[in-house]
Amino acid sequence: MLKATRALRAAAGVSAGARIRLEKWLPVASGIGGGSADAAAVLGALMRLWSLDAKAVDLDQLALGLGADVPVCLKGYAAFVGGVGEEITRAPALPPAWLVLVNPGTALKTAAVFKARRGEFGAPARFDESPATAKVLAELLATRRNDLTAAAVGLAPEIGVALAALKAADGALLARMSGSGATCFGLFAEAGLAAGAAALIGRDHPGWWVRATPLIADVRALVP
């Protein structure tokens, strides 16, 4: 957050300051964009606090300089991302669905996972139509893969255990690793099924970080 603040001050040529308090609810280095979302939130908040003209600052480029995931977090909606994070295309509308996020308590460095990866990357497989249901969304995603999963599991075998727990959960439509790990997610059609799966996995693995949450396709709709 401090890096984001300093970068925006330099780009906008302002001397104003701010008092920022962070409540961290996500595991560190967990592959779900927590730090990137923090940086994006700070940029957006400071733009408003300092009354900065959006046309006077290349916010997308500034965000990219902070991290590959920051630009899409700045957008705040579900999107397909290409390049090194600068190519952002809004995804079709997503159906109501629920997720169970599971982190086995392992912090993985993205660079280490990429270094351990072998083989070719999968071909882009974007879709244009909006999935009608969570089940249809899961069927679409089931034909795709996370190219970093094998490397991450090799570095942290407990990720494989987390994936197996999600796949075995009642009502799980899909289980995948997020980003470069170590967080994994399960996709569910109903809130009750997601809550039940989270409770069961948390009971069986008390040292893990486990959360059930709705799939939110546009966080901007939640901001007053």
Give the pLDDT score at 116. Answer: 96
Q: Tell me which residue of 178, 180, 182 sits closest to 215, measured CA to CA.
A: 178
- Alpha-helical (H) ranges within 13-93 are 34-49, 59-66, 70-75
* 183 close to 177: Cβ distance less than 8 angstroms: yes
Residue in the block written with tokens 């899909």: 174
d(CA 68, CA 76): 15
Q: Tell me which residue of 41, 57, 48 sits closest to 8, measured CA to CA.
A: 57
Give the pLDDT score at 191. Answer: 98
Domain 2-90 fold: Ribosomal Protein S5; domain 2 (3.30.230)
Kindly give the pairing relationship between strand 98-103 and strand 209-214.
antiparallel
**Helix (H) / strand (E) containing 212:** strand 209-214
Burial label for 200, CB within 10 Å (0-12, 13-18, 19+), is: middle
Give the pLDDT score at 224. Answer: 45
Phi, psi of 14 (to 5 degrees): -115, 160
**Domain segments of the chain: what residues?**
2-90, 98-220
* 61 close to 138: Cβ distance less than 8 angstroms: no
Both structure tokens of 13: 């040529």
The pTM assigned to this predicted structure is 0.90
Taking 70 as the pLDDT cut, the residues of the chain under it are 220-224
Burial 162-194 (b: 16+ CB within 10 A, else e): bbebbeebebbbbbbbbbbbbbbbbbbbeeebb
Q: Tell me which residue of 58, 3, 57, 83 sits closest to 35, measured CA to CA.
A: 3
Give the pLDDT score at 124. Answer: 84
Give the pLDDT score at 222. Answer: 52
Give the pLDDT score at 85. Answer: 92
* 150 close to 121: Cβ distance less than 8 angstroms: no
Give the pLDDT score at 140. Answer: 95
Structurally, at CATH architecture level, domain 98-220 sits in 2-Layer Sandwich (3.30)
Both structure tokens of 73: 């977090």
Chain segment 95-110, per-residue pLDDT in tens: 999 999 999 998 889 8
Give the pLDDT score at 221. Answer: 59
Angle at 77 between CA 71 and CA 81, to 5 degrees: 50
